[in-house]
């Protein structure tokens, strides 16, 4: 594939409520990464970047190169390193593992090179930089997961980032028809493991990142899952403060977007006892001054006819009931 023939991998659904969910790209919304997608890692020579390369290669990812300014000519995991994305081989996907001060520049560079699926692992990205990342990605009709995203996984053979551990397709995570979408990478892995132990299988998993602003929000990720014909039910882990929770409380029923069973896990009852308006854990986990308690939010969501769990065992039980 020549540099002028980059394959689009974007899926850019619109937002909440009654607005239609559609792809603005010229290609099918399901042109997300597949086993043949060519991947580069920006920041691959660093400790985190080299580990990501090792894990992704072990799970079958087609890593073609790494990019680190000033390190061109080196190799990591037998893959060549280039000084810039422009100099690197044409790629479909970029994983960004760079210091937070350089994350926005890395996203801009990937977009300028024509890459339309970007995963940003980097945490603690300044808020204004995250806003600009999202704006630029939408402008280019690109899919952006992160900042602070552990990644994207789709059975049987696609893993971007760290989701699923070092060997996600070894059998520990069961393959099935569930899409799992989460603000927390750790909880994405925990819920995949818990569902698998209960005999329930995963088709798709997306960790969107836990910041106040991310490239793909929960509602947009739900639309991605809905577009997958092999996804039959959707589970969402949403921390307090997520806009999706307000939409659910106000009557937006997810069945209108998912077309199938939908279960939410809303943790954080302890936040009801703590001061309002402060981030706890992820920067996007904020219980606002005018927000109901976490416990009351769950009850309001349940009154809309939506299954809403407080704990992992309760979430697994509710998902299992969708098969009854």
Active site residues: 282
Residue 172 DSSP class: S
The DSSP element (H or E) to which 218 belongs, if any, is helix 218-226
Please, what is the Cα angle at 215 between 214 and 220, to 5 degrees?
A: 100
Closest by Cα among 317, 312, 219, 310 to 272:
310
CA distance 121 to 112: 19
Question: Between the CA of residue 77 and those of 37, 39, 99, what are the distances in Å?
Answer: 18, 14, 21
Closest by Cα among 97, 105, 43, 46 to 68:
43
Asked if residue 236 lies in contact with residue 222, where contact means CB atoms within 8 angstroms, the answer is: yes
């Amino acid at each position: 594939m020549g540099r002028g023939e980059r394959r689009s991998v974007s899926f850019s659904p619109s937002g909440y409520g009654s607005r239609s969910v559609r792809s603005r790209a010229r290609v099918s919304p399901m042109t997300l990464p597949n086993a043949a997608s060519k991947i580069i890692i920006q920041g691959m020579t660093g400790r985190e970047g080299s580990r990501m390369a090792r894990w992704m290669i072990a799970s079958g990812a087609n890593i073609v190169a790494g990019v680190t300014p000033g390190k061109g000519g080196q190799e990591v995991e037998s893959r060549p390193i280039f000084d810039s994305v422009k100099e690197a081989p044409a790629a479909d996907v970029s994983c960004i593992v760079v210091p937070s001060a350089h994350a926005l520049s890395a996203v801009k560079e990937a977009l300028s090179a024509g890459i339309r699926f970007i995963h940003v692992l980097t945490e603690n990205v300044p808020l204004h930089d995250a806003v600009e990342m999202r704006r630029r990605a939408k402008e280019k009709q690109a899919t952006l997961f992160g900042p602070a995203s552990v990644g994207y996984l789709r059975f049987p053979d696609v893993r971007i980032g760290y989701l699923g551990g070092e060997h996600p397709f070894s059998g520990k995570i069961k393959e099935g028809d569930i899409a799992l979408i989460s603000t927390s990478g750790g909880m994405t892995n925990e819920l995949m493991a818990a569902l698998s132990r209960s005999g329930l299988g995963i088709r798709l998993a997306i960790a969107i990142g836990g910041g106040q602003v991310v490239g793909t929000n929960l509602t947009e990720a739900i639309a991605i899952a809905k577009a997958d014909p092999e996804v039959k039910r959707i589970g969402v882990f949403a921390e307090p403060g997520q806009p999706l929770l307000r939409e659910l409380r106000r009557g937006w029923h997810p069945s209108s977007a998912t077309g199938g069973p939908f279960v939410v896990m809303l943790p954080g009852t302890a936040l009801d006892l703590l001061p309002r308006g402060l981030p706890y854990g992820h920067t996007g986990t904020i219980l606002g001054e005018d927000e109901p308690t976490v416990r009351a939010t769950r009850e309001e969501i349940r009154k809309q006819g939506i299954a809403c769990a407080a704990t992992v065992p309760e979430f697994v039980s509710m998902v299992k009931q969708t098969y009854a």
